[in-house]
Amino acid sequence: MRLGIFVGCLVLVAVLVNVGWVPAGLGDANPAWVVLLALVISAPLSFVLLRKQRDEMSEQIAGRVAGAKDKLAANRSQEDAADDAARVS
């Protein structure tokens, strides 16, 4: 989705530069100027427009991390119990 927003901004900026509403840059820097301007425009747009997807993904990742931490803690307690049993015998 982020790539789609960037491509849309890139097309829009390219059209605006060709129409003359946006400066074309310095000398032969026109393609670099168009890409840079599209990046600058698409970054805040994707931050705002993709907030819901970003929040959902972070919840999924947080759940996976919590599950991995629980498994690690369970494995540690099993190892500690086995070590304690070996030392007592």
Both tokens assigned to 73: 């803690």
Rounded to 10°, the helix 30-49/51-88 angle is 70
Dihedral, CA atoms, 59, 61, 64, 69, nearest 10 degrees?
-100
Q: What pLDDT is stored for residue 3 in this prediction?
A: 94
Q: What is the pTM of this model?
A: 0.59
Measured in whole angstroms, the distance separating CA 46 from the mean position of its chain's CA atoms is 10
Q: d(Cα 71, Cα 56) in Å, to the nearest integer?
A: 23
Q: Summarize pLDDT for 74-87 with one digit per residue, the tens.
A: 777 776 666 667 77
Q: Summarize pLDDT for 17-63 with one digit per residue, the tens.
A: 888 777 766 555 578 888 999 999 999 999 999 899 888 888 889 88
Both tokens assigned to 87: 């030392």
Q: d(Cα 54, Cα 10) in Å, to the nearest integer?
A: 23
Give 13: exposed, middle or buried? Use CB within 10 Å, 0-12, 13-18, 19+.
Answer: buried
